[in-house]
Amino acid sequence: MTTDTRAANTRRLPFDGLRVLDVSQGIAGPYCAHLLWQQGADVVKVEPPAGDWARPLGVVSGDLSSVVIAFNGGKRAICVDGAKAEGRGVIARLAADADVIVQNFRPGVAAKLGLDPAAMCASRPDLVYVSISGYGPDGPYADAPATDSVIQADAGLMFANRAADGAPRKIGLFLADMNSGLYAAQAAAAALYRRATGGGGEHVEVSLFDTCAATLVGNLVEDAMDPSRATRPARPVSSPNGTYTAADGAINVVALDDAQFERVCRAIGRTEWLADPRFANAAIRLANREQMEPLMAEALRTRPVADWVDRFREAGVLHAPVRTYAQLPAHPQARHAGTFEPIEQPGLGTLAWAGHPARAMRRPIEPVPHLGEHTLEVLERAGFSGAERAALLAGGAVVQRDRTTAA
């Protein structure tokens, strides 16, 4: 059974009627704007003629990439040449009509486009202006380049993801970028609430560096309380505790206390371990982990994952099979809850998509726009006359493309 909490929700989405101008590129800024779109905002995405630099990033089809698809659904795309005075004039007119502006340029770049945050917030006290940067607007690192991987290294995420031998490792997703987008969207929502209650607008400033520090708050507190932990190899807090190879895949199993250990032993048919002095209690098992874990691995490789899942579920063992990306949409809970919905992306077919977890407060996903797909539509809605639109096109200040030419 699949449920969809949105089906019974007839209330307006939180940001219905909100106008967002997204001049950001990459992931953090576009994700921030996309989250506002999911909750009802009208988002106009402004790109230069070369396009968002994320368009060729990841798996690519034409001018669409996996990265662009993940973080830009539903936006209306306009292509503007900000190097031309006429193009900057277009951006200024669009900005004047926006409730929220989202940008993630290096400090000083937005001002060159006519989007200086201090000047705009001073002239429009109700504006919510979101600036996302690598390290913040000033300071010794303000101009330093800051990709997700660079920040993962510089701000501690790679250190948090150390291997058993202590080697730092990149986390296998754009965690610094995505978390920055999440924090920025939450801060924008808070600023909009304050504006709605009479508090005026806000210049929201979020950096990838600060976001990583906030993400690591638990680790940092732990390190302050016991600095020696950072010099020791990362290890689980109990044993058995790990991911094991079964006959046809992998499965994660955890036993945190003696009662859970007993359930594991009975489920895998190793009740003799209960009388083994090496495994007498949780503390002793952890101390003897180098003996416990190989025995556990040997036992689990004898059966398929599905067999172990059935046995562990019946015994009440903490466990989960290791699922691939392709298997995740078929997860029984995902099917029941409607976690995934299809993107009908022209030219690419149907793609599984997971949106904001608060499903009752988000709209159904819509396709991702091609570069400049909605240029003339956006200009017309913004009040540009037919003559103005024609002149801008003729002068190259804006570019209109459609799905056939973009592919």
At 65, the amino acid letter reads S
Same domain, 38 and 135: yes
> What confidence tier does 11 reach under pLDDT thresholds 50, 70, 90?
confident
Range of the domain at 133: 19-218+338-406
Same domain, 388 and 245: no
Same domain, 45 and 137: yes
Phi, psi at residue 286, to the nearest 5°? Answer: -65, -40
Q: CA-to-CA distance for 211 and 198, rounded, in angstroms? A: 28
Residue showing tokens 């967002």: 20
DSSP states along 7-35: TT--SPPTTTT-EEEE---TTHHHHHHHH
User: What is the pLDDT, as a whole number, of residue 139?
Assistant: 95
User: What is the pLDDT, as a whole number, of residue 4?
Assistant: 45
Same domain, 154 and 186: yes
Say if residue 2's pLDDT is above 80. Answer: no
Same domain, 349 and 272: no
Same domain, 346 and 201: yes
Closest to 180 in 3D by CA, of 126, 116, 136? 136
Same domain, 267 and 393: no
Same domain, 153 and 201: yes
Q: Which CATH number is 48's domain given?
A: 3.40.50.10540
207 is a domain residue: yes
Mean pLDDT value across the chain: 93
Other C-beta atoms lying within 10 Å of the C-beta of residue 173:
9
199 is a domain residue: yes
**For 65-69, 104-108, 283-287, which range has the lowest pLDDT when averaged over its residues?**
104-108
User: What is the pLDDT, as a whole number, of residue 357?
Assistant: 94
Same domain, 80 and 188: yes
Same domain, 88 and 188: yes
> What confidence tier does 316 reach under pLDDT thresholds 50, 70, 90?
very high
Q: CA-to-CA distance for 201 and 199, rounded, in angstroms? A: 7
Report CA-CA distances (Å) from 253 to 269, 278, 315, 339, 387. 15, 19, 12, 25, 67
1 is a domain residue: no
Interval 243-287: pLDDT, tens: 999 999 999 999 999 999 999 999 999 999 999 999 999 999 999
Interval 143-168: pLDDT, tens: 998 999 999 999 999 999 998 888 99
Last residue of a domain, one of 288, 321, 354: 321
Provide mean pLDDT across the span 189-204: 97
> What confidence tier does 185 reach under pLDDT thresholds 50, 70, 90?
very high
Provide mean pLDDT across the span 340-368: 91
Provide mean pLDDT across the span 1-25: 76
User: What is the pLDDT, as a whole number, of residue 3?
Assistant: 42
Other C-beta atoms lying within 10 Å of the C-beta of residue 231:
7
41 close to 100: Cβ distance less than 8 angstroms: yes
Say if residue 7's pLDDT is above 70. Answer: no
Buried b (16+ CB within 10 A) or exposed e, 334-345: beebebbbebeb
Q: Which CATH number is 313's domain given?
A: 3.30.1540.10
pTM for the model: 0.92
Say if residue 215's pLDDT is above 60. Answer: yes
91 is a domain residue: yes
397 close to 84: Cβ distance less than 8 angstroms: yes
Same domain, 150 and 96: yes
7 is a domain residue: no
Same domain, 168 and 204: yes
